[in-house]
Amino acid sequence: MKLYDGGKILIGLVIFIAFAAFPFYFNIGKVNAKPEPKLDTPVILQMPEQERKCVEPKAFMRTEHMQLLNNWRDSVVRDGYRQYVSEASGKHFNMSLQNECMRCHANKKKFCDECHNYMAVKPYCWDCHIAPKEDDRS
């Protein structure tokens, strides 16, 4: 069976494989550590251990925090509700990324950005919502 235009096809195939496999061979040998978000902000450390609870349990927050924030956004801006009642703990929280979430998690670079950078996700919340000022020394 004759392969017509075989030369062009093979060259094209090689170029395609070079592009498609690029992410894999480019990262060979590079250390890509698992993200380890840090919870050791002064605000959190000041709280007694039992009270160190986020709005909802960690597992829920890890997967659904963006959906939760979207819901908060609509609730605050559009419906005028600002107090959130936690499903897990019944505690009241102020529905604000800037003023509530970041109150405890003021270490955006070592918390939020840890996983976001690993996943190459760039949420544009920070275009408007003012990120907490961080000490770059630690």
Partner 1 sequence: MSIDRRQFLKIAGISSLLGIGATAASATHNVWIKGIEPPQVEPGKEALTAEHWAMVVDMSKFKTEEDIKKAVSACHTTHNVPDFGNIKDEIKWIWKEKYESAFPDQENPYMEEKIKEMPFIVLCNHCENPACVRVCPTQATFKRKQDGIVMMDMHRCIGCRFCMAACPYGARSFNYRDPRPFIKNENKEYPTRTKGVVEKCTFCTERLAVGKIPACVEAAPKGGLIFGDLADRNSEIRKIVETRYTIRRKAELGTGPSVYYLIGGNEHA
Residues at the interface with partner 1 (CB under 8 A): 64, 67-68, 70-75, 77-85, 87, 92, 94-95, 98-99, 124, 127-130
With respect to partner 1, which residue has the nearer C-beta, 72 or 111? Answer: 72
With respect to partner 1, which residue has the nearer C-beta, 17 or 121? Answer: 121
Residues β-bridged to residue 137 = none
Q: Which structure tokens are listed for 24?
A: 């894999």
With respect to partner 1, which residue has the nearer C-beta, 14 or 77? Answer: 77
Distance in Å, CB of 41 to partner 1, minimum: 16
At a CB cut-off of 8 Å and minimum separation 6, what does 35 contact? 114, 115, 117, 118
With respect to partner 1, which residue has the nearer C-beta, 34 or 133? Answer: 133
Q: How far is CA 73 from CA 11, 47, 49, 66, in A?
A: 52, 27, 30, 10
Q: Where are the alpha helices (DSSP H) in 21-54?
A: 22-26, 42-46
Distance in Å, CB of 83 to partner 1, minimum: 4
Distance in Å, CB of 76 to partner 1, minimum: 8
CA 74, 75, 78, 80: dihedral to nearest 10 degrees? -160
Distance in Å, CB of 132 to partner 1, minimum: 8
